[in-house]
């Protein structure tokens, strides 16, 4: 199975002025594409050649894991943004309020964790097997599939996600990214878990 680069769910200039077309050309067109190309080369002729991306992420290590997980994470990240304003579903709002006190309190904690994560990595909203929402931070290519949880949304805090637009001011990028969250995508991910 050959893995292919996802098509962005928005035009490359649709997230401006918060995320520039230039950033997306590098982030999606160069970094994300490189992970896809590397993964396809690495799995050729191996037991991973016909496996799904999720299967590869949860069963591999080393270079294969790093590239597969980065493909998965970037797919999730780009799918989780929108150029139009969206709102969390009532179910998601209720769960966020139950777990964190309010949507605003959840935002504060998420932004704080994403700003503080040392080095490169990802910060996720995920749901565990008991139905509790949690914020999980991972270095490098980590994600909630590794902890047995189901991812709902993610913020990429690798420098290539924001350096062109924000230089080294990660908190400003995270604050602007927050306004681009595709809450319909997050809410649909939650609904799929509840329905399962």
Going from N- to C-terminal start, the domains of the chain cover: 21-79, 90-195
CATH superfamily of 21-79: Fe,Mn superoxide dismutase (SOD) domain (1.10.287.990)
Query: Does pTM top 0.95 for this prediction?
Result: yes
Residue 63 has a CB neighbour count (10 Å cut-off) of 12
| Domains 21-79 and 90-195 alike in fold | no
Can you list the positions of beta strands (E) in 3-108? none
Q: Is residue 51 helix, strand or coil?
A: coil
Cα distances from 118 to residues 24, 113, 137, 159, 172, in angstroms, run 23, 10, 10, 11, 16
- Fold exhibited by the domain 90-195: minor pseudopilin epsh fold (3.55.40)
pLDDT at 28: 98
Per-residue pLDDT of the chain (196 residues; tens, 9 = 90+): 899 999 999 999 999 999 999 999 999 999 999 999 999 999 999 999 999 999 999 999 999 999 999 999 999 999 999 999 999 999 999 999 999 999 999 999 999 999 999 999 999 999 999 999 999 999 999 999 999 999 999 999 999 999 999 999 999 999 999 999 999 999 999 999 999 8
Per-residue pLDDT reduced to its tens digit, 152-193: 999 999 999 999 999 999 999 999 999 999 999 999 999 999
């Amino acid at each position: 199975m050959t893995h292919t680069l996802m098509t962005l769910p928005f035009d490359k200039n649709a997230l401006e002025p918060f995320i520039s077309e230039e950033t997306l050309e590098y982030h999606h067109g160069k970094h994300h594409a490189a992970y896809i190309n590397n993964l396809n080369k690495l799995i050729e002729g191996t037991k991973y050649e016909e496996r799904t991306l999720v299967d590869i992420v949860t069963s591999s290590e080393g270079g294969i894991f790093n590239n597969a997980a980065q493909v998965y994470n970037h797919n999730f990240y780009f799918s989780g943004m929108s150029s139009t304003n969206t709102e969390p579903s009532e179910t998601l709002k209720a769960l966020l309020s139950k777990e964190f006190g309010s949507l605003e309190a959840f935002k504060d904690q998420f932004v704080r964790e994403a700003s503080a994560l040392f080095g490169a990595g990802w910060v996720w909203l995920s749901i565990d097997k008991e139905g509790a929402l949690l914020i999980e931070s991972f270095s490098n290519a980590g994600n909630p599939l590794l902890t047995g949880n189901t991812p709902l949304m993610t913020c990429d805090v690798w420098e290539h996600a924001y350096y062109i637009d924000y230089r080294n001011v990660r908190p400003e990028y995270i604050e602007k990214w927050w306004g681009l969250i595709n809450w319909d995508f997050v809410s649909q991910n939650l609904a799929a878990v509840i329905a399962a």
